[in-house]
Structure 1
Amino acid sequence: MVSTTPLVVLGEVRTCLLPTAGALGRAEARELLTLMPGRAVRWRERPGTLAISPTIAVGVDCDLPMGEHAARIVGTVATRVTLVGGRVLQSSARARVVRAAERRRQPWSHYISQKGVTEVISRISDREVAEIALAEGYLADSGRPGALDMASISERLLAHIRADARLDQSPPMQASATRLRWIARIGRRAGQTVTLRVDDDTTRSLRLTVREESDLDAAQRFCEDVAVHDWLLTVMAAAFEEADRFGASSRERLDILAPLLQHMTGLWMPGAHTPSTLRALWKELQNEPGFSRQWSTLTDRLRDNVSVAMLDALRHKAFDTEW
């Protein structure tokens, strides 16, 4: 009998600033994130707002690289949208990769009944070797023609939401989008582990090990939570890089940094929206790469910079009034 335990779970999260001037409340978020009529948008009010859209499925029939070779997978990728603090928008895609019971393609009705599950119909011998090869093949992101393209799936969904006519396309600041690719495997005796790698200015890779199969259900939410906080750090660091082109007391510098202080600092809540079964993994990220330590340093610098710029502006105003 073929095991239904996933060989690996693959995921992708795109994170960006919602292109509108004000943060969305519950009613507005529900309207924006209702991807399927009749399906409810989940909402969490405390400690910060979180909206999660219904899950929709995207059919795939493609290859998944395994080193020099590739496995053919058929099934569906589960996608959804989240909105954090009414301001940070995410599109998220995931797929459980399992062995197919039969080495032939089934009718689509078979795959549609298993949302977010893809079946390997190629021959796979050793399970542990296959788990590692599939995970690393996905993270290698070689751009191989005909390979699983989670990036395009999540980007299309994100673009669809960002273009919604209810958004005024006037965000309070400029911020780039980031991309988090992730894989999750069952470690059992190895316990829970997480490693995060910064691939380039906007792309990150996360490897996650959980204890039991039931913990895989929480992996996507954990990775979305990590992606939000990585995005906040990325946006803050990029803003300082841009602001440093101008003088310490310049109006341009204040215009770049002040919106961060007003709209972004209150969103920092590591683990607040992570399921309890995986919340302990945040301790590893706090140690390495040191998420909160870096955030504290950046926000202290932000407040100091804004205060200096505002005090200098007040001095100039007082001087001009005297004259």
Structure 2
Amino acid sequence: MAVPLVMLGEVRTCLLPSAAALTRAEAGELLALMPGCAVRWRERPGKLAISPTVAVGVDCNLPLGEQVAHVVGTVATSIVLAGGRVLQSSASTRVVRASEKRRQTWSHYVSQKGVTEVISRIPERATAGIALAEGYLTGPVGGDILDLASISERLLSRIRADVGLDHDPPVRARTTRLRWTARIGGTAGPTAELHLDDDSVRSIRLIVRAESDLDAAQRFCEDLAAHDWLLTVLADALDEADRFPSHSRERMNTLAPALEHLTGLWMPGGHTPAELRALWKELQTEPGFSRQWTTLVARLRDNIAVATLAALRHKVFDSDSQSEPVSH
């Protein structure tokens, strides 16, 4: 197979719709997407379950500057469950130049899981790789353009709707998206350029040193997406709590579950392969992931302490008011 021009991916992250974190056996049952294929499991440094990879066939276009590149092949999809609570759907494909400029039989494409071949004329490898990466992240969407977002969302919706889940999560949390590209840059890598596109969508451009690092790039992006989601959810919980009085039950009901169920999941780089773990050092400096997390957790604990004190004072005040003798 030809050296990939670029690897494109999307990771959607949400809270598993379950009141309790799943055990290894429960995670294995939920993530068993293919009969006879085992769910991968890690116990250290934190629980991590990864489903078998399922291929989705595509025959579509990719933005390439002012033109498009016609690609045929498959997108590799999988489900990740971190800490028994953080649910992710991951979709990716390696874009390669086809050896023949004509469509081949589907058996050819199915035999290469997670690979799409460009069957139209494109520039040389370095130029095409950059153009395809930028086209995926910033180009037009809809129509016959490759839609990793829909592929990822369909798989996530399927898992979230599983009848074995009680659909009673302890925290209200949004779904976030991380769109990513990875190119082979030789001695130029590994590097990462992260952008927050809006409140729930992020994009990252990666350069890795060798083709063998592309699998590690996907795992890094899944790890990054999980930690970005944790930051987002804690910030949302604090914003939501500010809508209620300090002594209110609603405020405590918003803050306490986030502290109890989410703060123990923070371990940046813990599930990133060694080849790309150095990228976390950059992210710890700018934008400062762990610094943000430490600040949010401290605010969360301080808010709970203040809310608890306010509730106690409010209770004492009400009790004193009720016991005050009535004058005649």
TM-score, normalised by the number of residues in structure 2: 0.95
**Given the alignment, which residue of 127, 130, 151 partners 2:128?**
130
What is the aligned length? 321
In structure 1, the partner of 2:305 is 307
In structure 2, the partner of 1:18 is 16
Mapping for residues 220-239 of structure 1, pairs under 5 Å: 220-239=218-237
Question: How far apart are 1:141 and its partner, in Å?
Answer: 4.7
- Paired with 1:191 and 1:63, the residues of 2 have a C-alpha distance of 28
In structure 1, the partner of 2:58 is 60
- Paired with 2:317 and 2:90, the residues of 1 have a C-alpha distance of 53
In structure 1, the partner of 2:145 is 147
Poorly superposed stretches of 4+, deviation over 3 Å: 315-323
In structure 2, the partner of 1:166 is 164
Other structure's SS at 2:169 match: coil
The RMSD of aligned alpha carbons is 1.2
**Given the alignment, which residue of 74, 77, 80 partners 2:78?**
80
- Paired with 1:114 and 1:154, the residues of 2 have a C-alpha distance of 19
Question: How far apart are 1:203 and its partner, in Å?
Answer: 0.4
In structure 2, the partner of 1:248 is 246
Deviations 1:194-236 (A, max 9, x none): 0110001110001111111111121111000000000011111
**Given the alignment, which residue of 275, 284, 302 partners 1:286?**
284
Deviates more, 1:32-41 or 1:232-241: 232-241
- Paired with 1:125 and 1:136, the residues of 2 have a C-alpha distance of 15
In structure 1, the partner of 2:326 is none
* Letter of the structure 2 residue corresponding to residue 184 of structure 1: A
In structure 2, the partner of 1:91 is 89
Other structure's SS at 1:260 match: helix
**Given the alignment, which residue of 37, 51, 71 partners 2:69?**
71
Structure 1 residues not aligned, in runs of 5+: none
Deviates more, 1:250-259 or 1:63-72: 250-259
Larger Rg: 2
- Paired with 1:141 and 1:229, the residues of 2 have a C-alpha distance of 27
- Paired with 2:281 and 2:104, the residues of 1 have a C-alpha distance of 43
Question: How far apart are 1:145 and its partner, in Å?
Answer: 1.1
Question: How far apart are 1:319 and its partner, in Å?
Answer: 4.7
CA contact (8 A) 2:246 2:311 kept: no
Deviations 1:138-197 (A, max 9, x none): 001521410000000000000000000001111111100000000001111212100110
* Letter of the structure 2 residue corresponding to residue 220 of structure 1: Q
* Letter of the structure 2 residue corresponding to residue 18 of structure 1: L
**Given the alignment, which residue of 197, 200, 222 partners 1:199?**
197
* Letter of the structure 1 residue corresponding to residue 163 of structure 2: A
- Paired with 2:129 and 2:196, the residues of 1 have a C-alpha distance of 23
Other structure's SS at 1:132 match: helix
- Paired with 1:144 and 1:41, the residues of 2 have a C-alpha distance of 33
Question: How far apart are 1:321 and its partner, in Å?
Answer: 5.1
- Paired with 1:249 and 1:268, the residues of 2 have a C-alpha distance of 29
- Paired with 1:106 and 1:285, the residues of 2 have a C-alpha distance of 43
- Paired with 2:249 and 2:281, the residues of 1 have a C-alpha distance of 39
CA gap 1:4/1:62 in 2 versus in 1, 3 angstroms? same
- Paired with 1:217 and 1:126, the residues of 2 have a C-alpha distance of 24
Question: How far apart are 1:318 and its partner, in Å?
Answer: 4.3
- Paired with 1:249 and 1:304, the residues of 2 have a C-alpha distance of 13
In structure 2, the partner of 1:270 is 268
Q: Once the two structures are aligned, what percentage of the paired residues are identical?
A: 70
CA contact (8 A) 2:177 2:200 kept: yes
Q: Does 1:34 align with 2:32?
A: yes
In structure 2, the partner of 1:115 is 113
